[in-house]
Amino acid sequence: METKVYKQKDDNLKELAEILKAGGLVAIPTETVYGLAADGLNPEAVKKIFTAKNRPMDNPLILHIFEIDQIYDLVENLDPVYADILSKLWPGPLTVILKKSSLIPDEVSAGLDTVAIRMPDKKLTRDLISLAGSPLAAPSANISGRPSPTSAKAVLADMNGRIEAILDGGDSKIGIESTVLDLSVSPVKILRPGYYTQEILEEYFGQVDLDLALKDKDQTPKSPGQKYKHYSPRAKVVVFMGDDDKVVNEIKKISQDQENIGIMVFEDQVHKFPESEKVISMGSKDDLSEMAHMLFESFRDMDEKQVETILVQGVEEKGFGLSIMNRLNKAAGNNIKYII
């Protein structure tokens, strides 16, 4: 199959909606990462997502909606208090888990009695969902295990020949996936950390718990996707935690002894390394949005440069840092070095 890349145009949206209605696969831009979309109420179309991504069948998908009213057919019941909060946080990088209605195919929920739902911020994509006439099931548009794609080019690198089309909506603004919040339990619980932190969500929901597995590797995560190795470039990833100077000295030592090393450090540390296209700045430690924005793209970039090992400066696991470290820990297969 030839994968066609479409630019943002009204006529193109109509054509893409037809592909989706016919049960085809279209990669869609969102503010978090690119999604691989199919008609979420068509089991045969949904199955194609698992094949194209090589995704384990026990890992459920997020349904993407274009307006809040669309949620009522998809869930058993939505507490009006939650509906009110969602109307404030949506559209945006928040996915909620609720008891599913009988409309939801088992392929979407991987046999669970709950369903994950999100309304993406990108207007273009909401317009496409509206035209498709159905919620769109869409996991990240990468081959399972690889870094999530934040550009149409990255989608094409993984999905060329495997899907009908890609809608090129430019770079994803945020760069890491949505926060997954379980509203089917009380108190509500974060199953995957993302752009919305525990602190921000507590302003809306009151007490918000963290799934124990997010802090303790020996616990089984409630979100099936969290148990897999994920976000990994071909290069080996090692994360370094600790005082800036000590971490940088350690990274320097290793990079002097070994060949083909990629280095990702915060901007105020970059000048300590020889100038090289394999030394990448992650922006400021005080504003992690740049790090989130460039993380997956930089992994892919290092692979293109045939780097064998990527040494990354880690961040404290609090606030948005918890979400970023969640991705880094998985990319590194928990290869974290604490330098003291």
Binding residues (CB under 6 A) for ligand AMP: these are 59-60, 62, 97, 109, 112, 114-116, 139-140, 177, 180, 191-192, 222-226
Sheet hosting strand 309-313, strand order edge to edge? 279-281, 261-265, 309-313, 236-242, 336-339
Residue with token string 């994950």: 116
Residue placing its CB nearer to ligand AMP in the complex, 151 or 281: 151
Q: How far is the CB of 314 from ligand AMP (least distance, A)?
A: 22
* Shortest distance, position 272 Cβ to Mg ion, whole Å: 34
Q: Name the minimum Å distance from CB 36 to ligand AMP.
A: 9
Residue 109's binding partner out of Mg ion, ligand AMP, none, with CB under 5 to 8 Å set by partner kind: ligand AMP
- Name the phi and psi angles at 186, rounded to 5: -135, 130
Nearest residue to Mg ion on Cβ basis = 140
Nearer to Mg ion, 49 or 279 (CB): 49
307 phi and psi angles, rounded to 5 deg: -70, 140
Q: How many angstroms separate the CA atoms of 184 and 79, rounded? A: 10
Phi, psi of 11 (to 5 degrees): -60, -40
Which listed option, Mg ion, ligand AMP, none, makes contact with residue 221 (CB within 5 to 8 Å by class)?
none
Q: Would you call the peptide bond into 56 cis, given omega within 30 degrees of 0 as the criterion?
A: no
Judged by beta carbon, residue 189 or residue 278, the one nearer ligand AMP is 189
CB 148 to ligand AMP: min, Å:
6
What would the two tokens of residue 317 be?
């696991």
188 beta partners:
208
**Shortest CB 50 distance to Mg ion, Å:** 12
192 binds, among Mg ion, ligand AMP, none (CB under 5 to 8 A by kind): ligand AMP
60: partner contacted, choices ligand AMP, Mg ion, none (Cβ within 5-8 A by kind):
ligand AMP
Q: What's the distance, Cα to Cα, between the start and end of the chain in Å?
A: 53
For residue 123, the tally of other CB atoms under 10 A from its CB is 11
Question: 78 near 71, Cβ under 8 Å?
Answer: yes
Please identify, using beta-carbon distances, which residue of 60 and 175 lies nearer to ligand AMP.
Answer: 60
115 binds, among Mg ion, ligand AMP, none (CB under 5 to 8 A by kind): ligand AMP
Instruction: List 280's β-bridge partners, or say none.
Output: 264
Q: How far is the CB of 222 from ligand AMP (least distance, A)?
A: 6
Task: Name which of Mg ion, ligand AMP, none residue 309 binds, using a CB cut-off of 5 to 8 Å depending on partner kind.
Answer: none
Q: In the complex, what is the shortest distance from the CB of residue 62 to ligand AMP, in angstroms, rounded to a whole number?
A: 5
For residue 226, what is the DSSP state?
G
Provide the residue type at 114 as one letter.
T
Which residues make Cβ contacts (< 8 Å) with residue 194, sequence separation at least 6? 32, 93, 94, 95, 176, 177, 178, 179, 180, 323
Binding site for Mg ion (CB under 5 A): 140
Which of 111, 170 has the CB closer to ligand AMP?
111
